[in-house]
Every structure is written in C-alpha cells, then in structure tokens.
Amino acid sequence: MESPFEVQEYVRLYLGEGKDAKEFAKQFLDQRSRWRQMQRNVQQYEEDNMCIPAKAINPGQSSDFHEVKVNIKKDEILSCAPFTNEMFHLV
C-alpha cells in the first residue's frame, strides 16, 4: 500500500470507522513517512561517505571466474595421494 488513501481504506475495512481507527491510521502514516525519510537520509549518507567501502558497481553481472566441475573417483584420489591407506582409516 503506497498511498495514504489505501492505508486509510484498509484500516477502515479491518478496524472500523471509529475515532481510534482514524487516529491509528494517522499515526501509522506519520511514522511511515518519518521512517521512509530516515531511510532516504541513510542511503544518501552511504552514497556520499568516502570513509566506508563502495558498493559493487555491477553486483548482478557475472565475474571472470567460472566454476569447474571435475568427475574424479575416490580410488583415483587415493592413488595420487602422498600417503598410504594405512595412515588413515577410510570408511
């Protein structure tokens, strides 16, 4: 719900049309407005502050690193290991 009218309509439908319900809707809208303004101030501060690390430029873009999957059997790994099977108890 973005508009104040939608909030007031929602409160009216679920809490009624009484004085307390209208006061609740008014206080809710005031607090939401203050919270949103505070969030905008924090975001602006983070964008302007040179003392904190910068955010990634393209966080959704793939990097130059690619995952490689290798299909190696357990016996092949053990045969290449510099130790014998007697040193470790394999289950």
Q: How far apart (Å, rounded) are the C-alpha atoms in residues 24 and 36?
A: 18
Residue 82: pLDDT band (50, 70, 90) is low
Q: Give the tens place of pLDDT for each residue, 71-80.
A: 766 665 555 5
Q: In the chain, pLDDT over 70 holds for what percent of residues?
A: 62
Q: Cα–chain-centroid distance for residue 84?
A: 47
Q: Other C-beta atoms within 10 Å of 29: how many?
A: 15
Q: Give the tens place of pLDDT for each residue, 44-72.
A: 877 777 777 766 776 666 656 667 676 76
User: Nearest Cα to 55, choosing from 44, 47, 67?
Assistant: 47
pLDDT of residue 78: 56
pLDDT of residue 29: 94
Six token digits for residue 1: 């719900």
Q: Other C-beta atoms within 10 Å of 22: how many?
A: 15
